Structure 1
Amino acid sequence: MGLLGILVGLSVLIYLAFRGSSILILAPIAGLIAAAFSGEPLLASWTQTFMRNAADFVAQFFPLFLLGAVFGKLMEDSGSVTSIADFMTKQLGTSRAILAVVLAGAIVTYGGVSLFVAFFVLAPMGIALFRAAGVPRRLMPAAIALGTSTFTMSAMPGTPSIQNAIPMPFFGTTPFAAPGLGIIASLIMLAFGMWWLKRREAAARAAGEGFGAFTVDPDASAESAVENPIVRERATTAGSFDPSEIHSSAETEKGPPIVLAALPIVVVIVVNLLMSFVVLPRMDTAFLARPEWGGVTLSAVGGVWSVMVALTAAILTVIAINFRSVPVLRATVTAGANASVLPILSVASLVGFGAIVASLPAFAVVRDFVLGIEGGPLVSLAVATNILAALTGSASGGLTIALDALGPTYMKIASEIGMDPALMHRVAVIGSGTLDSLPHNGAVVTLLSVCGVSHKEGYLDIVMAGIVGALIALAAVIVLGSVVGSF
């Protein structure tokens, strides 16, 4: 009965979330359904298991959601994202329209800009560029997804994405875990995605297909995406920025020069690197062992601290550069702060649901099944994060549920076999960023809506550029990591 309860609770969560119901309500209901089948006390399951674990997630990661959303909104309203996108367009030109969109998205998201902010900036640029180049409009969502939602989210060492931050407290790692493997995975994702998109472009040109006509006005489709409550509900479980805040503040009419526009992104990368390998290792953090500071080690909090300081430094940089050009600075900062609230509560609710499931006696069957998967711990970890990210439609939610339930077990296995936890970190993050991009994923729904492209028109290319390429990269990392270890 307990295992049946887990399946019923999960089915309710998936079905109603797909129909647009709030995950804030669905997650505790689904968790209580699972608890009821196992005969567990319902009120205690809600307050002592669900809420405690959800609150722990908020306490641990809210600074990253908050700072990331504020930074993304500042980069948008200062015109910095637009300046970077325009620069890539001019440098690569219409002959390499797809590459221009991919690289523009990669630069801004690797620099810490939320992918949802990037969607609303890159879509208008992509429309103009694809139309001028005669590239089919249906390929634009896949090009944006390749640049914003694949290697810069899960593979590039040092990326400040929330997905890359989640494993750090579990494995005691830094944002730069397994950098060599991360770079190899990134190159595979980029190369495969570009091969597929260029192949599709060539086939379209041979068939005489051009940009195509809009079924709806592109500006209207973007506006519709912002106002659509179903898009909002799905998007806030898949990212760290609430799309409803996109138009809550005004963007400057003219962005900064490219050097100044890119400077905050450079600051994120450099400060993150310095904090991880120079500053924090030299600090006296013995005080963290005291009860009033949580009784933790530096390895449990150092990775989060590094990203926090990097984003703070970048925020101060973009404000200093654009202090006079951002129309209403306070409104921009407020919009960014507000945009972080619903996403973290949504993901925290998924974490609370996962905590209830993991506390049930029947979960031992699930755990033993996952750990018994052929191929070793890296394969079973990849399968666990893949499945949970797919079922929840959230890379961050699925990853946290998996590590909350199985993280200590994998750390014990790593210690017993002498495996570097950094390798598990990278496998877990890449694994969470593959099957999360199913049709119900919030990022997919939002991106297609912003571009004015239907699932029928554009989803196959998202699958190839965003899922298949990531799965190939994940397999390569597992094979290389198993043979030569982490590097």
Structure 2
Amino acid sequence: MFSTLAIIITLLLLMFFAYRGYSVLILAPIMAVLAVLLSGDFLSSIPAYTDVFMSALSGFLLKFFPIFLLGALFGRLIADSGAATAIANTVVDKLGSNKAILAVILVCAILTYGGVSLFVVAFAIYPIAKNLFKAADVPKRLIPAAIALGSFTFTMTALPGTPAIQNAIPIPYYNTNVFAAPILGTIGALIMFFAGWYWLQSRANKARLAGEGYGEHDDDLEQKEDIDHSQTTSDHQISFVTAMIPLVLVISLNALLTYVVFPGLDFSSLQAQYPDLNIQGSLGLWSIIIALLVACTVLVILRIGHWHNLKSSINRGTYESMLPIFNTASEVGYGAVIASLAGFIIIRDSILNLTPDNPLISEAVAMTTLAGITGSSSGGLSIALSTLGENYYQMALATGIDPELMHRVAVMAAGGLDTLPHSGAVITLLAICGLTHKQSYLNIAMVTMLIPLVATTTIIILGTLLGSF
């Protein structure tokens, strides 16, 4: 009883202090040790940190550090090469300023689906979005929701092949790949895109009828990047076709490795050399790593002679990977300590027995609940899968559910409640745009929580009736 209460208390404290802006790097271990202390096991508090917490943290780093590193590096190279700006300008020119909302959504979607970090996208696209919305006289308060829809939703969790870390996390647990349940994922993505676009456009139309325009805002108070963009961006303009090459490479090379190259290789000698290696569970991760590495290399070569400061871009991209990976790994460490407590058995059994005949539903509840508590889709997904992944995998096999369907539902569900008000992504996005929760959060919540949860529910229903496809 005390152990279960300790878990609930520390989860609530984690959510509260994360909302107040405290770093998860320090919060996660403190809350993990506090959970052990509150459960009455004083002697285990230090080993819970040194052995359980740190083992889980290092295990997550071991699996996913290359993806975080290459993803952040690729995003920085795309931004500093001028590719992000070239893509944005081309989309805007084709659609026109009267399609400001759609233009911002599509630009963000192209970049994030191509492997660019959502934070890099937000920083790069906000100045363009601001000018677009001002020209179209669309309320500025809708900018965060438009960026979030293109960056935090369908390209992050639903579209098959997306290199987002959220789509990679289930791979070793379900022996799947980033293209899991491709048609169902595409259906979910279309629901999120069209419903989200319709919502934002209807808000803009309503504002226009009410006489509300862009509004007056003090741009001097808006958040700026900590480094002058002109000091790192390429000084030669890049064409749209050239800018798209690295993005297309990430997806196409990933697909080629997943469906053509790796299935045709004989890994028996590799298995003999590394007998403990789960090759099937690693192939999906290897595909992403190789695709991102090749894309980074090609982008550097394409812009040889045109980089303002390539060393600075590489170093900055490398450093930008550290905080996200350690934040997520710390949340995994916290989850491992929680899973070691006696009270977790009660919580685990309650979740697993929620719908014993259809693990898709209980899986979705577990993923989105933990994502909401941590304010992070990757953090919640990592905690849930590290503690319950094996259970769900066995339940899927027992009930005849394709692990690919389990993969897609897990990722889409984690992209539901992850954007509650305390979410770091939401707080950062609002800071970039110089707006407040009061001004913009309702629309963010609609396009990043309510609509994605509807899409996830639809995929669960289709998957239950028709299976994975």
| TM > 0.5 fold call | yes
Aligned to 2:54: 51
Aligned to 1:36: 37
| 8 Å CA contact 1:249, 1:332 repeated in 2 | no
Q: Does 1:9 align with 2:3?
A: no
Q: Does 1:357 align with 2:338?
A: yes
| 8 Å CA contact 1:110, 1:159 repeated in 2 | yes
| 8 Å CA contact 1:82, 1:255 repeated in 2 | no
| 8 Å CA contact 1:14, 1:391 repeated in 2 | yes
Aligned to 1:110: 113
Q: 1:173-192 counterparts in 2 under 5 A?
A: 173-192=176-195
Q: Does 1:280 align with 2:281?
A: no
Q: 1:62-461 counterparts in 2 under 5 A?
A: 62-217=65-220, 220-223=221-224, 226=225, 250-290=232-272, 293=274, 295-374=276-355, 376-461=358-443
How far apart in 2 are the matches of 1:195 and 1:404? 37
Q: Please state how far the C-alpha of 1:215 moved relative to its aligned partner.
A: 3.7
Q: Give the CA RMSD over aligned residues.
A: 1.5
Q: Deviations over 1:233-281 (max 9, x none)?
A: xxxxxxxxxxxx8969611244310000111001111100001111111
Q: Please state how far the C-alpha of 1:210 moved relative to its aligned partner.
A: 1.0
Q: Does 1:464 align with 2:450?
A: no
| 8 Å CA contact 1:8, 1:33 repeated in 2 | no
How far apart in 1 are the matches of 2:301 and 2:329? 33
Give, as a single letter, the amino acid of the residue that structure 2 aligns with 1:80: A
Q: Please state how far the C-alpha of 1:446 moved relative to its aligned partner.
A: 1.1
| 8 Å CA contact 2:235, 2:307 repeated in 1 | no
Q: Please state how far the C-alpha of 1:38 moved relative to its aligned partner.
A: 3.1
Q: Deviations over 1:106-157 (max 9, x none)?
A: 0010000001010011100001111111111111111111111100000000
| 8 Å CA contact 1:249, 1:335 repeated in 2 | no
- Percent identical residues: 46
How far apart in 1 are the matches of 2:270 and 2:425? 37
How far apart in 2 are the matches of 1:351 and 1:246? 35
Give, as a single letter, the amino acid of the residue that structure 2 aligns with 1:93: G
| 8 Å CA contact 2:149, 2:193 repeated in 1 | yes
Q: Please state how far the C-alpha of 1:286 moved relative to its aligned partner.
A: 2.4
Equivalent position SS for 2:54: helix
Aligned to 1:236: none
Shifted more, 190-199 versus 245-254: the winner is 245-254
Q: Please state how far the C-alpha of 1:103 moved relative to its aligned partner.
A: 0.4
Equivalent position SS for 1:222: coil
Equivalent position SS for 2:305: coil
Give, as a single letter, the amino acid of the residue that structure 1 aligns with 2:389: G
How far apart in 2 are the matches of 1:453 and 1:265? 30
Give, as a single letter, the amino acid of the residue that structure 2 aligns with 1:13: L
| 8 Å CA contact 1:109, 1:153 repeated in 2 | yes
Q: Give the TM-score, by structure 1 length.
A: 0.93
Equivalent position SS for 1:362: helix
Q: In the superposition, relative to structure 1, how do residues 169 and 201 fare at CA in structure 2: closer, same or farther (>3 Å)?
A: same
Shifted more, 421-430 versus 314-323: the winner is 314-323
Q: In the superposition, relative to structure 1, how do residues 294 and 208 fare at CA in structure 2: closer, same or farther (>3 Å)?
A: farther
Q: In the superposition, relative to structure 1, how do residues 287 and 20 fare at CA in structure 2: closer, same or farther (>3 Å)?
A: farther
| 8 Å CA contact 2:235, 2:308 repeated in 1 | no
Q: In the superposition, relative to structure 1, how do residues 254 and 206 fare at CA in structure 2: closer, same or farther (>3 Å)?
A: farther
How far apart in 1 are the matches of 2:170 and 2:189? 19
Q: Please state how far the C-alpha of 1:293 moved relative to its aligned partner.
A: 3.2
| 8 Å CA contact 1:71, 1:113 repeated in 2 | yes
Aligned to 1:239: none
**Structure 2 segments unaligned to the other structure (5+ residues):** none
Q: Deviations over 1:408-458 (max 9, x none)?
A: 101111111111000000000000011001111111111111112211111
Alignment: residue pair count: 465
| 8 Å CA contact 1:141, 1:462 repeated in 2 | yes
**Structure 1 segments unaligned to the other structure (5+ residues):** 228-244
| 8 Å CA contact 2:15, 2:422 repeated in 1 | no
How far apart in 2 are the matches of 1:294 and 1:465? 46
Shifted more, 165-174 versus 367-376: the winner is 367-376
| 8 Å CA contact 1:77, 1:249 repeated in 2 | no
Q: Please state how far the C-alpha of 1:216 moved relative to its aligned partner.
A: 4.0
Equivalent position SS for 2:222: helix
Give, as a single letter, the amino acid of the residue that structure 1 aligns with 2:86: S
